[in-house]
Amino acid sequence: MGRAFYQESAAAREVLDRAEAVLPGLLDTIWEGPEEALRLTENQQPALLAVSAAAWAAWREAGGPDPAYAAGHSLGEWSAHVAADTLELEDALRLVRLRGRYMQQAVPEGEGAMAAILKLDEAVVREVVQRTEGVWIANLNSPGQVVISGRKEAVEAAVAELKERRGRAVPLKVSAPFHSELMAPAREALARDLAQVELRTPRFPVFSNVTAEPATDPDRIRELLLAQITAPVRWVEILEGMHGRGVATFVELGSGNVLSGLVRRTLPEARALNAEDPEGLAAALEEVAS
């Protein structure tokens, strides 16, 4: 993850070296593991942010244009704000490490759970969730894909009922029940740290996970970055909001291609590209220029 960018892009290498300087050992954890260490959310969050920021630096180095709008899924919203210069890379890395640590501390491992619910309308999932204490909607990823989160027993109860409604459930391998009210202690703890960091007006609008609308005011962005810890990720509305504003091409920068897949399922008419390595980035640049 990110190694090819490090080897082939001077701009990406500078970003990853800066990440290593602020969080010593991060690159070794990303590239060498062990996997158990990388799965810890306090390591995983800065790792993903660092690699996304490196991909963005490589994109800019290669002549890639600024987007009309940017967005990130959950943690990715922080990466989008780094790309938009709302946050300094070093500040963002320190904050997301704390974000991950506070999230893990909020709920002891094994007491929370998350599950992706497939093949059911959002309204059906929402109905079951509203009647099940201790479970919340976490992500609205694409039509027919809703993630629920909460106490392990409550999630299991909701899953059982949703299966009876002919839905399919996929348990997620996560260390905490993200985007649920159980994360409130993490939100409160991070507020103290985020208050000490300068946020600037972004160079381009970044959509908020909480409102599914672009945000540009630094004080409002600060509020929204905290609120998203417990609020659901409204990804379908974000994509539809971008598309409604004239966006026809989406480029996913960073590790993996999950988000470009969600674009295709939500907006079949849109063009979805992903650049998780130099080859993918070159292909995406060629497509954007065509």
Structure tokens at 33: 């593991």
- Cα of first residue to Cα of last residue in the chain, in angstroms, is 28
Give the 3-state secondary structure of residue 268.
coil
With contact defined as beta carbons under 8 Å apart, do 51 and 30 qualify? yes
Of the residues 9, 74, 149, 260, which is catalytic?
Answer: 74
Whether 243 is catalytic is no
DSSP-assigned letter for residue 33? -
Structure tokens at 143: 């039509």
Round to whole Å and give the CA distance between 236 and 140: 6
With contact defined as beta carbons under 8 Å apart, do 151 and 183 qualify? no
With contact defined as beta carbons under 8 Å apart, do 190 and 99 qualify? yes
In 131-270, alpha helices (H): 152-164, 184-194, 218-227, 235-244, 258-266
Whether 179 is catalytic is yes
Round to whole Å and give the CA distance between 115 and 156: 9
The torsion angles phi and psi of 9, rounded to 5 degrees, stand at -125, 120
Report CA 15 to chain centroid distance, whole Å. Answer: 19
Of the residues 9, 179, 180, 208, which is catalytic?
Answer: 179
- Picking from 200, 215, 209, the residue whose alpha carbon sits closest to that of residue 229 is 209
Structure tokens at 94: 């320190």
Structure tokens at 274: 């992903």
Task: Report the DSSP pairing between strands 145-151 and 112-118.
Answer: antiparallel
Catalytic residues: 74, 179
